Amino acid sequence: MPTNPPLTARPSREVDLAARPASMRLPLHRCALVVVDMQHQFCSPGGLSHESGADIGLARRAIEPIRRLLSAFRGHGLPVVHTREGFLPDLSDCPPLTLQRIQRDGQPLVGQEGPLGRVLVRGEPGHEIIPELAPAPGEIVIDKPGIGTFARTGLEAVLREARIDHLLVTGVTTDVCVHTFIREANDRGLNCVLVEDACASFDPQLHAAAVAMTLQQGGLFGWVADSGAVVRALGETPSAS
């Protein structure tokens, strides 16, 4: 469960956001930026992804767009939610299938010692968010025991209490944790904008596929925009309602 201060209500204001499949009216007073799993284990040398042979340079492409979005959201006093994937030290909250993964090509297993401490264990160096995108005081940090973010975390209650129903989603990886977040949010009646250049995958084809899946059937899972469009929208003079 999150231990951060609750998100607070904000004055009503809306901006136009250039997006696909169609532009949208974004209610900033009901909006939050979500940064998914920008942790050392996925983005830094010595982390799980790097040790597994993935090109972490692909993941790190999302850093600068996310940093620009963080600056814009913080500058407008808008809420930010960070997520971290990881498990309790005794692994009691780790899904059984995750524990049963077969070690392949020297890939570290969850809970084993690695260059950044025990892999995907809370409190270890590799579990922390990279310093370029470190949470600011008062921002919500959700520790999630798996790929999805809504199960066993309390995030939905936090968003409902703050009357937030529009989420700009960023982070890694587009095809796994990010798209799982969007699908789960969609089933809860939450509107998601996938910020395309502020997300990344270790396989560019899977990144493109996740974007396409979001847009299928006229935006089945939400909207897609780029970070520049979001920053420009936030730079507009907001309208009161």
Find out whether the peptide bond into 173 is cis, omega within 30 degrees of 0.
yes
Determine which one of 144, 175, 192, 199 is catalytic. Answer: 144
DSSP letter at 108 equals P
Give yes or no: 90 in active site.
no
Backbone angles phi, psi at 205, to 5 degrees: -65, -40
Whether the Cβ atoms of residue 34 and residue 83 lie closer than 8 Å to each other? yes
Give yes or no: 177 in active site.
yes
Determine which one of 31, 37, 94, 143 is catalytic. Answer: 37
In whole angstroms, how large is the CA radius of gyration of the chain?
Answer: 17
Nearest to 29 by CA among 50, 47, 15: 15
Residues 91 and 214: their CA atoms lie apart, in Å, by: 33
Give yes or no: 37 in active site.
yes
Determine which one of 43, 94, 177, 192 is catalytic. Answer: 177
User: Catalytic site residues?
Assistant: 37, 144, 177
